[in-house]
Structure 1
Amino acid sequence: MRPDVYLLILGDLLPDPRTGQAVSEAERLRAMVEQAVVAEESGFTGVAIGEHHFTRYIVSAPELVLAAIAARTRTLRLSTGVTLLAHRDPVLVAEELATLDVLSSGRAELIVARGVSQETDAAFGIGQGELRARFEEHLRLLLLLLEKPEVNWAGRFRGPLAGVTTTPRPVQAPRPTVWVGSGSAASADLAVELGLPLMLPSTLRDPVGYAPMVRRYRERSRFADARVALPSHVFVAPSAAQARRQWRPHLASYAAFADEWRGDGTRLDVDRLMTGAAVCGDPAEVAGRLNHLGSVLGLDAHLVIVDIGGLAQREVLAVIRLFGTEVIPQLRLG
Structure 2
Amino acid sequence: MRFSIFYEHQVPRPWEADGEHRLLQEALEQVELADRLGFDTVWAAEHHFLEEHSHSSAPGVFLAAASQRTTTIRLGFGTVPLAPGYQHPARVAEAAATLDLLSDGRVELGTGETSSGAELAGFGVDRETQTAQWSEAIEIVARMMVETPFAGADTDHIKMPPRNVVPKPLQKPHPPLWVACPRQETIRRAAEKGLGALSFAFVEPEDVRSWVDEYYTIISSDRCVPAGFAVNPNFAAALPMMVHADEAEAIERGIDGAHFLGYALGHYNAFGEHAPGRTSIWEEFQARRDDVGFARSAISADGAPLSVKVLQRGLGSVRGAIGTPAQLRELIGRYEDAGVDELLFCLQTGKTQHKHIMEALELFAAEVMPAFAQRRPARARDKAERLGDAAERALERRAPRRTVARGYAFKAGDSGVDAAAVAIPEEPAAPSARRAPGAAVTSLRRQLETHGERAFQAFVGRSDDARLARTAGSGAGLRVIFGAMERQFVPERAAGFTGDIQYNLRAVDGSVRAWTVAIDRERARARPGAADDAELTITLAVADFIRIAGRDLDPVKAVLTGRMELAGDFGVALKLGEMFGQPGGF
Using structure 1 for the length normalisation, give the TM-score: 0.89
- Partner in structure 2 of residue 193 of structure 1: 192
* Match among 302, 317, 320 for residue 343 of structure 2: 302
- Pairwise mapping of residues 199-218 of structure 1 onto structure 2 (< 5 A)? 199-201=198-200, 203-204=201-202, 206=204, 208-218=206-216
- Partner in structure 1 of residue 158 of structure 2: 158
Letter in 2 for 1:269: A
8 Å CA contact retained: 2:206, 2:334? no
- Partner in structure 2 of residue 84 of structure 1: 81
Distance 1:249 1:233, change over 3 A: closer
- Residue 186 of structure 1: how far off its partner (Å): 3.8
- Residue 234 of structure 1: how far off its partner (Å): 0.6
1:292 corresponds to 2:334: yes
Distance in 1 of aligned mates of 2:147 and 2:177:
15
* Match among 21, 44, 69 for residue 26 of structure 1: 21
Distance in 2 of aligned mates of 1:215 and 1:262:
28
Distance in 2 of aligned mates of 1:313 and 1:170:
34
- Residue 248 of structure 1: how far off its partner (Å): 3.2
SS class of match (1:129): helix
- Pairwise mapping of residues 51-70 of structure 1 onto structure 2 (< 5 A)? 51-55=46-50, 56=52, 57-70=54-67
SS class of match (2:248): helix
1:103 corresponds to 2:102: yes
> How many residues in Structure 1 have an aligned counterpart in Structure 2?
326
SS class of match (2:159): coil
- Residue 251 of structure 1: how far off its partner (Å): 3.3
8 Å CA contact retained: 2:241, 2:254? no
Work out the percentage of aligned pairs sharing the same amino acid. 24
| 1:4-35 Cα distance to aligned partner (Å, 9 max, x none) | 2111111111259xxx9785111111111111
Distance 1:174 1:43, change over 3 A: same
Structure 1 vs Structure 2 CA RMSD: 2.5
Unaligned stretches of 5+ in structure 2?
225-230, 272-290, 301-305, 309-319, 380-586
> Which has the bigger relative contact order, CA under 8 A and spacing at least 6?
1
Distance 1:63 1:133, change over 3 A: same
Unaligned stretches of 5+ in structure 1?
none
Letter in 2 for 1:293: Y
Distance in 1 of aligned mates of 2:199 and 2:299:
18
- Partner in structure 2 of residue 240 of structure 1: 247
| 1:230-281 Cα distance to aligned partner (Å, 9 max, x none) | 1111110012122123323333444433333676995333455784322111
Distance 1:121 1:210, change over 3 A: farther
- Partner in structure 2 of residue 276 of structure 1: 307
1:73 corresponds to 2:70: yes
* Match among 256, 273, 281 for residue 263 of structure 2: 256
| 1:203-256 Cα distance to aligned partner (Å, 9 max, x none) | 445465444333221111128632111111111001212212332333344443
Distance in 1 of aligned mates of 2:76 and 2:261:
23
- Residue 156 of structure 1: how far off its partner (Å): 2.0
Distance 1:257 1:191, change over 3 A: closer
| 1:40-78 Cα distance to aligned partner (Å, 9 max, x none) | 111101111111111121110100000000011111101
8 Å CA contact retained: 1:287, 1:327? yes
Larger Rg: 2
Distance in 2 of aligned mates of 1:204 and 1:219:
22
SS class of match (1:106): coil
8 Å CA contact retained: 1:10, 1:81? no
Distance in 2 of aligned mates of 1:276 and 1:22:
38
Distance in 2 of aligned mates of 1:190 and 1:253:
29
Using structure 2 for the length normalisation, give the TM-score: 0.52
Between 1:208-217 and 1:107-116, the stretch displaced more is: 208-217
Distance in 2 of aligned mates of 1:183 and 1:249:
22
Distance 1:144 1:294, change over 3 A: same
Between 1:165-174 and 1:83-92, the stretch displaced more is: 83-92
Letter in 1 for 2:114: G
| 1:67-106 Cα distance to aligned partner (Å, 9 max, x none) | 0000111111011111112232111000000000000110
